[in-house]
Amino acid sequence: MARVSSSQSPVTAPSPHGEGRRGSVVLHILRSLRPEQWTKNLIVFAGLLFGRELHSSASLARAVAAFAIFCLLSGVVYLVNDILDRGADRLHPTKAKRPIASGALSPATAGAAAAVIAAGALTAAVWLGLGFGVVALSYLALQTLYSGPLKRIVILDVLAIAIGFVLRAAAGAVAINVPISHWLLVVTILLALFLALSKRRHELVMLADGAVSHRAILGEYSPYLLDQMISVVTASTLVAYIFYCISPETTQKFGTELLGLTIPFPLYGIFRYLYLVHQREGGGSPSEMLTNDRPLLICVALWALAVVLIVYRPFSGV
Half-sphere exposure at residue 106, Cβ-oriented, CA atoms within 13 angstroms: 5
Distance, in Å, from the CA atom of 314 to the CA atom of 237, rounded to the nearest integer, reads: 29
R_g over Cα of the chain: 24
Taking CA atoms, 32 is separated from 25, 80, 118, 247, in Å, by 10, 10, 14, 42
Residues 162, 100, single domain; the answer is yes
Residue 22 lies in a domain: no
Which range of residues forms the domain containing residue 47?
Answer: 29-179
Dump pLDDT digits (tens) for 213-269.
667 788 888 889 999 999 999 999 999 999 999 999 999 989 899 999 999 999 999
Residues 168, 286, single domain; the answer is no
Residues 164, 225, single domain; the answer is no
Q: Please give the mean pLDDT across all residues of the chain.
A: 87
For the segment 195-208, the average pLDDT, to the nearest whole number, is 84
- For the ranges 68-77, 106-115, 159-168, 272-281, which has the lowest average pLDDT? 272-281
Residue 204 vs residue 190, higher pLDDT: 190
Residues 142, 239, single domain; the answer is no
Dump pLDDT digits (tens) for 81-116.
999 888 877 877 778 888 998 889 999 999 999 999
SS (H, E, C) 242-308: HHHHHCHHHHHHHCCCHHHHHCHHHHHHHHHHHHHHHHCCCCCCHHHHHHHCHHHHHHHHHHHHHHH
Q: Compute the CA torsion angle 78, 69, 67, 199 (nearest 10 deg).
A: 10
- Give how many domains the chain has, as a whole number: 2
Residue 282 lies in a domain: yes
Residues 129, 193, single domain; the answer is no
